[in-house]
Amino acid sequence: MDSPDFKAPQNYINRELSFLEFNQRVLDQALDESVPLLERLRFLCISSSNLDEFFEIRVAGLKQLLELGSGQFAGDVLSLPDQLAAIHERALQLVTDQYRCLNDVLLPAMASQGISLLGRTAWSPEAEKWLEQYFEHEVEPVLSPLGLDPARPFPRIQNKSLNFIVRLEGKDAFGRDSELAIVQAPRSLPRVVPIPGEGSKKSLVLLTAIVGAFVHKLFAGIKVIGCYQFRVTRNSDLFVDEEEIDDLRRALEGELAHRRYGAEVRLETSRDCPEDMVQFLLRQFALHDIDMYRMPGPVNLNRLSAIYDLVQRPDLKYPIFTPGLPKRLVGNTDLFAVIRQNDVLLHHPYQSFAPVMDFLRLAAADPQVLAIKQTLYRAGNDSPIVEALVAAANAGKDVTVIVELRARFDEEANIELSNRLQEAGAHVMYGVVGYKTHAKLALVVRREPGGIRRYCHLGTGNYHPRTARQYTDYGLFTANDEIGQDVHELFLQLTSLTQTPKLNRLVQSPFGMHEMVLAKLAREAEHARAGRKARVIAKMNALVEPQVIEALYRASCAGVHIDLIIRGVCALRPGVPGVSENITVRSIVGRFLEHSRVSYFENGGEPEMYCTSADWMERNFFRRVEVAFPIQREAHRQRILRDLDFCLSDTCQSWRLLPDGKYERIQRAADRAVSAQVELLAKYAAGAVVSP
């Protein structure tokens, strides 16, 4: 029998279409009646924001390749034009579903709870009077309507900004015919405005409705025929030729100014915008019908996220929870002593991120600490992590921070925090030219009676306290000598000019992680062929790297049972006869963003487990500095395995990937519904006792 062709295009799912399927799963949470109402609105907004970024980065990249005449094909051999056409068709359906969810489901449900988003026809006389005054005092002073004629060409439109195209009739003060004008809404204006004095009910009005109702006040003596929303999405990927620059930070600062005016990618208009005006806008932006999306509602659903904070209704939101702590950390102020005794494993957000912040605060204040070294990919504004590093530098400790300036959409924040760290006297580096530093590492060097000791924290997620409450991630504290030496060598590599270090326990990208994954999968296949125990469980955000997918197919054909838990994009096609019959793929979308990356290999009865900062993608294996760290304590391996088993048993927020590339929601069992995230909250949150 001939061996299957694992590289055959039909065995792969298009990456871009897989992402849109993921975004559909996010939107499905907005339709799930078991989710609190205002959380459902947030899921709708997240699906809108995800789609924006998809066009800004992924679609923009495809269009750029097409313009350059690239013949690039996807792994499933879709040509660039075919991919763009398929994306347009699928995105149109997604947009239709988004607005059906808003108009037919969420807005009526919110109204039944006394939360009304009022269109113009629903304004009471009192509300209309108040809104007119609001327009005159708060909105009109910051608007600058721009008439269009040969002396006043079409203005530059910022990326994703709110705009109105206004059709006019009449002559202006200079006797010129007035036909069209553009009104740009400054970003400083709130997009959702609460109407005061509505009693226990909450009445809200969108800025788009306010401008539409009173736009005539901007054009005295001119008749307004119509006013229509539009928004343009632009290429937001930054390009810096790192080999041709002397100062990466300064170059990025220059590029950030241009992001708002990158190449046009998508045009959105309100559904009532006349066809001739749509075509006029398409010509102005050099776009085509395939780039056009008509919206039966506000053109930027993500702006509705303001409602979540405007409406103080705890009964319509997820219950507040208090993260727990491992038993060994409860009431113990000497964190270094605890870590010396044995490794400590944390599972966020179920367990608190506070020990990570305490680790750095204690190090900053401890006179025995000589040096702190840290990687920062995303840290957030007013970060307590940065505060601790600044305090350590001010205290005279040797502080070295690898700040990744190119963390997408966090570039500006990272430039600011790097400036702050440098002002405090920290050594700030920007990693390696051509490679993003995505590894999550912190190293504290401490003088103790027995000599110098290294304490490490390694994680799957960012050093970001806010996302640590929203993303699921693992973090490990260890004082293991070999791991400490490995982390030391990695920081030397990132800050100095050294050869690739020989590591004892850690595995690094771009040197060796890809080879390690391929070798582990091949070893599982050998175990299966020899009749030994063979199994793989892998959890990650995305799987697209073709050689790893081929290795998974080979292991499946050898009899290895493979369970993949992949939140987002997956190019592997499971359940294909003779190729992937032993592979299952699940996706969990729930209250928390599934972000942890874990790989478990049965290894013939001698299991190995790694946590890592890397997904199984080309960029993570070859264009980023990533680290995988072994889970060495048996108690920790068993604990993570139980966590993974919750994910594999989930019947509430879990989807199964089918061979045709579609996802099927796993049905709840009649006897007992299992929600992995709810179970883990109960297991780890405050009050739960977890020893390891």
Predicted confidence (pLDDT) per residue in 309-337, tens digit: 999 999 999 999 999 999 899 888 899 99
For 110-133, b where at least 16 C-beta lie within 10 A, e where not — what string? Answer: beeeebbbbeeeebeeebeebbee
- Classify residue 638 as exposed, middle or buried by CB count within 10 Å of its CB (0-12, 13-18, 19+): middle
As a whole number of angstroms, the distance between CA 680 and CA 482 comes to 31
Tell me which H or E stretch contains 229.
strand 223-234
As a whole number of angstroms, the distance between CA 679 and CA 94 comes to 31
Please tell me which residue, 686 or 640, carries the higher pLDDT value. 640
Predicted confidence (pLDDT) per residue in 511-545, tens digit: 999 999 999 999 999 999 999 999 999 999 999 99
As a whole number of angstroms, the distance between CA 357 and CA 380 comes to 14
Q: Is 691 left (phi over 0), alpha (psi -120 to 50) or beta?
A: alpha
Cβ(349)–Cβ(471) under 8 Å? yes
Predicted confidence (pLDDT) per residue in 59-98, tens digit: 999 998 888 876 555 566 688 899 999 999 999 999 999 9
Predicted local distance difference test score (pLDDT) of residue 440: 96
Compute the mean pLDDT over every residue in the chain, rounded to the nearest whole number.
90
Predicted local distance difference test score (pLDDT) of residue 691: 53
Q: What are phi and psi of 501, to 5 degrees?
A: -70, 150
Please tell me which residue, 451 or 671, carries the higher pLDDT value. 451
Predicted local distance difference test score (pLDDT) of residue 2: 62
**3-class secondary-structure state, position 429:** strand
Q: Residue 242 pLDDT > 50, yes or no? A: no
**3-class secondary-structure state, position 219:** coil
Q: Is 89 left (phi over 0), alpha (psi -120 to 50) or beta?
A: alpha
Predicted local distance difference test score (pLDDT) of residue 252: 46
- Looking at residue 154, its amino acid is F
Q: What are phi and psi of 446, to 5 degrees?
A: -130, 135
As a whole number of angstroms, the distance between CA 295 and CA 96 comes to 8
Nearest-5° Cα angle at 159, 156 to 160: 120
Q: Residue 660 pLDDT > 90, yes or no? A: yes
Least confident interval from 49-63, 139-153, 579-593: 139-153
| H helices present in 285-321, as ranges | 306-310
- Distances from the Cα of 441 to the Cα of 4, 191, 597, angstroms: 41, 39, 15
**3-class secondary-structure state, position 476:** strand
Predicted confidence (pLDDT) per residue in 339-389, tens digit: 999 999 999 999 999 999 999 999 999 999 999 999 998 887 788 999 999
Q: What are phi and psi of 454, to 5 degrees?
A: -105, 130
- Classify residue 356 as exposed, middle or buried by CB count within 10 Å of its CB (0-12, 13-18, 19+): buried
Identify the residue whose tokens are 């097409």: 66
Q: Residue 245 pLDDT > 80, yes or no? A: no
As a whole number of angstroms, the distance between CA 471 and CA 568 comes to 14
Q: Residue 419 pLDDT > 90, yes or no? A: no
Predicted confidence (pLDDT) per residue in 436-447, tens digit: 999 999 999 999
Strands 163-169 and 146-147: unpaired
Strands 583-588 and 654-657: antiparallel
- Looking at residue 297, its amino acid is G
Nearest to 219 by CA among 258, 180, 270, 267: 180
Predicted local distance difference test score (pLDDT) of residue 67: 84
Both structure tokens of 347 = 């599972």
Strands 561-566 and 583-588: parallel
Q: Annotated catalytic sites, by residue?
A: 438
Q: Residue 244 pLDDT > 70, yes or no? A: no
As a whole number of angstroms, the distance between CA 557 and CA 310 comes to 54
Predicted confidence (pLDDT) per residue in 554-564, tens digit: 999 999 999 99
Cβ(32)–Cβ(101) under 8 Å? no
Output Rg (C-alpha) for the chain, integer angstroms: 27
Name the DSSP class of 135.
I
Predicted local distance difference test score (pLDDT) of residue 645: 96
- Looking at residue 511, its amino acid is F
Predicted local distance difference test score (pLDDT) of residue 38: 97
Predicted local distance difference test score (pLDDT) of residue 299: 93
Q: Residue 271 pLDDT > 50, yes or no? A: yes
As a whole number of angstroms, the distance between CA 326 and CA 321 comes to 16
Provide the residue count of the chain: 692
- Looking at residue 575, its amino acid is G
Both structure tokens of 568 = 């987002």
Q: Could you tell me which residues come within 8 angstroms of residue 160 by beta carbon, excluding any fewer than 6 positions away?
A: 52, 231, 232, 233, 234, 300
Q: Residue 137 pLDDT > 70, yes or no? A: yes
As a whole number of angstroms, the distance between CA 345 and CA 350 comes to 12
Sign (positive or negative) of CA dihedral 221, 225, 226, 232: negative
Q: Could you tell me which residues come within 8 angstroms of residue 253 by beta carbon, excluding any fewer than 6 positions away?
A: 415
Q: Report all structural domains of the chain as residue ranges with CATH numbers, in order of start.
A: 10-316 (3.30.1840.10), 327-505 (3.30.870.10), 508-684 (3.30.870.10)
CB-CB neighbours of 586 under 10 Å: 22
- Looking at residue 62, its amino acid is L
How many helices (H) and strands (E) in the chain? 20, 27
Predicted local distance difference test score (pLDDT) of residue 412: 74
Cβ(666)–Cβ(649) under 8 Å? no
Both structure tokens of 619 = 């960029």
Q: Is 315 left (phi over 0), alpha (psi -120 to 50) or beta?
A: alpha
Three-class SS of 27-72: HHHHCCCCCCHHHHHHHHHHHHHHHHHHHHHHHHHHHHHHHCCCCC
Predicted confidence (pLDDT) per residue in 9-23, tens digit: 889 999 999 999 999
Mean pLDDT of 5-11: 88
Both structure tokens of 499 = 């050869």
- Measured in whole angstroms, the distance separating CA 592 from the mean position of its chain's CA atoms is 12
- Classify residue 145 as exposed, middle or buried by CB count within 10 Å of its CB (0-12, 13-18, 19+): middle
**3-class secondary-structure state, position 618:** helix
The percent of residues in the chain predicted with pLDDT above 70, rounded, is: 91
Predicted local distance difference test score (pLDDT) of residue 395: 94
- Distances from the Cα of 55 to the Cα of 29, 160, 193, 296, 642, angstroms: 22, 11, 28, 20, 38
Predicted confidence (pLDDT) per residue in 578-628, tens digit: 999 999 999 999 999 999 999 999 999 999 999 999 999 999 999 999 999
Least confident interval from 272-281, 460-469, 660-669: 660-669
Q: Residue 248 pLDDT > 60, yes or no? A: no
Identify the residue whose tokens are 């220059």: 254
Nearest to 6 by CA among 579, 564, 521, 583: 579
Q: What is the secondary structure of 353-403 as a DSSP string? A: SHHHHHHHHHHHH-TTEEEEEEEES---TT-HHHHHHHHHHHTT-EEEEEE
Least confident interval from 139-148, 260-269, 412-421: 412-421
